[in-house]
Amino acid sequence: MSQHYHYPSREEFARRLSGKSVPATIKTAALGAALLGIAVFAYGLFSNADRAWQSLHFNWLFFTVISTAGTAFAAVQRIVTARWSRPVIRFAEGFYGFVPIAFIILLAILFFSGDHIFTFRGREAVSIAEKAAYLDNTFFVLRGVILFAAIVLLQGLFVWNSVKMDVAVLPEYGAGWAAGLRAKMRAAWSGDERRELHSQHSTQGKLAVAVCISFVVGWCFMAWDYSMTISLHFQQTMYAWIVFMTGWVNMIMVLSLLAMWWRNHLQAHDVVTMDHFWDLGKLGFAFTAFVGYISFSQYLVIWYGNMPEETHFYRLRLSGVWKSVTQLIPIFGFILPFFGLISKAAKVYLPTFVLFAVCSLIGVYLHRYIEIYPSIYGEATSLPFGLQEIGTTIGFLGLWVFSYFQFMDAFPVMRVFMMTTPFKDEVQVPVDARTMEPLPAHE
């Protein structure tokens, strides 16, 4: 990864950040879109409850995997003690703003959707005893609540410990709703900058590992529960990886787009440089290749195995009304971003980066749709995509944008402490936060 260490002073950061709140028009438009989506969903509950819950569900999957991947990405940067990402990592931590909201929506799905989404809740009997035990409704709900609650809690602790270092060293500013939270963060600050650096770095290291484990394990189960088992007669070992790794790729693409916006909004061209977009582009390209590899591996194994309990999944999606949508997925989700971002020029020329990032987002959005709808509708005579799906997507997009910018308006939008403390490079050599003595290599 490229390295860039010539940051402005802490005073200069304070001057830039304190007067750069998110334009009210953006948050107003996002809130309006969210309210529109809620209205469309409410209308659907009375006109076609099946479509209302199904559109809510597949949009929840799309936005939630991306959102939880943001903090997981920040956790990975801590585990490897990355320095290149310090100017942009808070832009990813801001994804957490949507995660508690996603938890509330998940609770609504689990407790109130009935059998509108999950056919095993009354519409279709589970013939295999082991699968019936796994999909017992009490176990199903309890599993979902515990797994996602663990993600919310661990990611929240990670973001809290990251944000509080910047809150402590910058003048008070930010949205009023978070004033109490910022006061608690300052109250916990000892004032010893070096000791706080190493103490928090150690705490963050432990939390980062827990965040990554909860992300991977949690989404393995949630991909099985909320996507794969909608088709009761299909199971595949790579399925969960495809679900959360496509979300991971989209997280990198969204982070790249937001980094471009923040760079201009904060006039931070000297902090967020073209090297960062080159690095983000390399990550987007690499993980696009990885997703293509595991997706084709799953398809190839099913193709040459030729077992009816597996082939029916692809046969359905490659026939009838689903065929054209399925064919667009590899084009938008793999071919265009892979070959588009293969060169350095496409990564550092921002218009092309934006184009291929949007292509990736479209591809994964269609992927989420094809995961859910064919398993419910089977050989449909017309494509179930209309006002309900579009309106719900607009609502989720508005809700995501609003929650993200509410979070970013409440706390410092960059990791100023890690970029300006004179001890910033000491974290490359772990020390005991109590004695400040270097730890042995094995610790």
- Tens of pLDDT, residue by residue over 369-413, are 999 999 999 999 999 999 999 999 999 999 999 999 999 999 999
Tell me the residue range of the domain where 95 lies. Answer: 10-422
Calpha distance 129→28 (Å, rounded): 51
In 10 A of CB 305, how many CB atoms?
10
Calpha distance 184→167 (Å, rounded): 10
Burial level of 10, CB count in 10 A (0-12/13-18/19+)?
A: middle
Show the CA angle centred on residue 307, arms to residues 301 and 309, nearest 5°: 110
Residue 429 lies in a domain: no
Residue 153 lies in a domain: yes
Calpha distance 396→381 (Å, rounded): 28
Which pLDDT score is estimated for 17? 85
Average pLDDT over residues 144-162: 97
Residue 24 lies in a domain: yes
Specify whether the CB–CB gap between 437 and 49 falls below 8 A.
no
pLDDT in tens, 13-26: 888 888 788 999 99
The rounded mean pLDDT for the chain is 92
**3-state class of 438 per DSSP?**
strand
Calpha distance 175→161 (Å, rounded): 19
In this structure, the chain runs to a length of 443
Which pLDDT score is estimated for 1? 56
Comparing CA positions, the residue from 377, 265, 380, 284 lying closest to residue 339 is 284
Which pLDDT score is estimated for 46? 95
Beta bridge partners of 221: none
User: Which helix (DSSP H) or strand (DSSP E) does residue 297 occupy?
Assistant: helix 274-305
Residue 436 lies in a domain: no
Calpha distance 8→6 (Å, rounded): 7
| Number of folded domains that form the chain | 1
Extract the tokens encoding 26: 């953006």
Which pLDDT score is estimated for 439? 67
Percent of the chain residues past pLDDT 90, beyond the cut: 75
Which pLDDT score is estimated for 174? 87
Specify whether the CB–CB gap between 166 and 87 falls below 8 A.
no
Calpha distance 36→128 (Å, rounded): 42
User: pTM for the complete prediction?
Assistant: 0.94
Residue 315 lies in a domain: yes
Diameter over CA atoms, the chain: 71
**Residues contacting 103, CB < 8 A, separation 6+:** 148, 149, 152
Residue 381 lies in a domain: yes
| DSSP character at residue 429 | S
pLDDT-derived band at 4, boundaries 50, 70, 90: low
* Residues 65-91: b if buried by 16+ CB within 10 A, e if exposed: bbbbbbbbbbbbbbeeeebbbbbbbbb
Which pLDDT score is estimated for 442? 44
Comparing CA positions, the residue from 123, 120, 124, 104 lying closest to residue 56 is 104
Residue 161 lies in a domain: yes
Calpha distance 296→238 (Å, rounded): 10
Residue 428 lies in a domain: no
pLDDT-derived band at 435, boundaries 50, 70, 90: low
Calpha distance 126→129 (Å, rounded): 7
User: Which helix (DSSP H) or strand (DSSP E) does residue 73 occupy?
Assistant: helix 49-79
pLDDT-derived band at 438, boundaries 50, 70, 90: low
pLDDT in tens, 199-226: 888 899 999 999 999 999 999 999 999 9
Calpha distance 431→33 (Å, rounded): 48
Look at 162 and 128; give whichever has higher pLDDT: 162
